[in-house]
Structure 1
Amino acid sequence: MDLKSLKDIPATFSIVKKSLYICLGLSLCISIGSMIWSYSLCTAYLNTTYIVTNEGKAIMLNSANKYKVDQFRKPEIVNHIKEFHKLFFEIDQFDYEKKVNKSLHLIGNSGKDLYLTLKAKRYYSTIVSNNLEHELHIDSIHVNHKTYPYRGELFGEVIIKRTDQKLENTQKLHSYFELKNVARTEDNPHGLLIEDYIVSGL
């Protein structure tokens, strides 16, 4: 190794050191930029809410303050309760499986337990064998949306008819339950799940 090569070593080392500093700086910039971008996305998500329309559809609303979120949440809760009860109780011999399965996306384990209990009591087989049609009339829905989990109560009646529309029977329906926030999905657009469901009258 000649003297010139030895003299070039400090210069080469300096270049390598500068390159390392540049790479480190770029890595830090990318990391910080990613954190800022993630924070902005989270902030935008938290400032986004969904409201329910008169048709019961959820639409996105940006930059809603907490008061507006609370204000719009109650109609969603009420609509979620209506939708579950209509799907679960307003059935006939042809569509009960499809509607009940759809309703189970809106309720937790207590709903699945109720379904299995009714099935064991031949509730659904009676509908099929006797050609029955169940029609739900909701009298009132009470919701406390100011506490969490939300609490709800429904009063109504199930009118049981034969397919010839002759009145067969009427059952009073009273249910009490809690509702919790969950991720919104296509099967659960309101982002709510009914829990601890208790029903009387069946």
Structure 2
Amino acid sequence: MVIKNLENKIKLVGIICSLFLIGCMVISISSIWTARTMITDAQQKVYVLDGNVPILVNRTTMEETLDVEAKSHVEMFHHFFFTLPPDDQYIKYTMEKAMYLVDETGLAQYNTLKEKGFYSNILGTSAVFSIYCDSIRFDKTNMEFTYYGRQRIERRSNILMRELVTAGQLKRVPRTENNPHGLLIVNWRTLLNKDIEQKTKTTY
């Protein structure tokens, strides 16, 4: 009888220890999971100081902002490449900035224009080139874009408006100071570049 009671007590102790061990494991796993979830959530939140007031902002992944960043990248490149005042140092500066955003197809177009004396003509005629973006169509699946814009060319005697359409693809690259969007324009080409309006400037 005594032995039987002893065996029952040993079994009871074993069951209690097993339940206690399982409970500890459940609590430990739950604690680890909760901690990881909290850390992940915390990493997605960033506080920005506005003066002395911290403002909570949420981080986003590149996938969530790809459409906006792609269009901004394309517009930035066209601004650098087609904004041309009669200042050789400024043109050199903007072309260097533009070349960080495009592959060799952009450099090829720049060299072709340079060989034809395009930039020398800008300096000689004091022409001012400005670019206006009308829209950018971006296909996220194929990473392809089409840029629609107008170029304003102001010379001493007239103002010429040209319609400009270019296309290309985008490739992901590491973000750098010179390429903040982490994208590179590849296979860039001009689809349309034609005169749409010309006005004679009034002289007094």
Instruction: Please say whether Structure 1 and Structure 2 have the same fold, judged by a TM-score greater than 0.5.
Output: yes
Q: After superposition, give the CA deviation of every residue in 1:30-62 in whole Å (9 maximum; x if it has no partner).
A: xxxxxxxxxxxxxx9xx98xxxxxxxxxxx975
Give how far 1:168 is off: 2.8
1:186 lines up with 2:177 in the alignment: yes
Residue 106 of structure 1 is aligned with which of 92, 101, 106? 101
Q: After superposition, give the CA deviation of every residue in 1:81-101 in whole Å (9 maximum; x if it has no partner).
A: 110000000111112111111
Matched ranges for 1:14-25 at <5 A: none
Name the counterpart of 1:18.
none
1:122 lines up with 2:117 in the alignment: yes
Residue identity opposite 1:155 in structure 2: Y
Larger Rg: 1 or 2? Answer: 2
Residue 159 of structure 1 is aligned with which of 123, 145, 152? 152
The 1:93–1:152 alpha-carbon spacing in structure 2 relative to 1, beyond 3 Å, is same
Name the counterpart of 1:198.
189
Distance of 1:61 and 1:128 partners within structure 2: 47
1:90 lines up with 2:100 in the alignment: no
Distance of 1:197 and 1:70 partners within structure 2: 23
TM-score by length of 2: 0.62
Name the Cα RMSD after superposition. 2.2
Residue identity opposite 2:146 in structure 1: E
Q: Where does structure 1 differ by over 3 angstroms across 4 or more consecutive aligned residues?
A: none
Unaligned runs of 5+ in 1: 1-43, 49-59
Residue 68 of structure 2 is aligned with which of 49, 68, 75? 75
Distance of 2:119 and 2:92 partners within structure 1: 9
Matched ranges for 1:20-59 at <5 A: none
1:174 lines up with 2:165 in the alignment: yes
Distance of 1:138 and 1:98 partners within structure 2: 21
- How many residue pairs match? The answer is 138
The 1:183–1:135 alpha-carbon spacing in structure 2 relative to 1, beyond 3 Å, is same
Distance of 1:198 and 1:61 partners within structure 2: 37
The 1:196–1:61 alpha-carbon spacing in structure 2 relative to 1, beyond 3 Å, is farther
Give how far 1:167 is off: 3.7
Identity of matched residues, %: 28
Residue identity opposite 2:193 in structure 1: G
Q: After superposition, give the CA deviation of every residue in 1:137-174 in whole Å (9 maximum; x if it has no partner).
A: 111110011x14x1000111111013x6x643222111
Name the counterpart of 2:131.
136
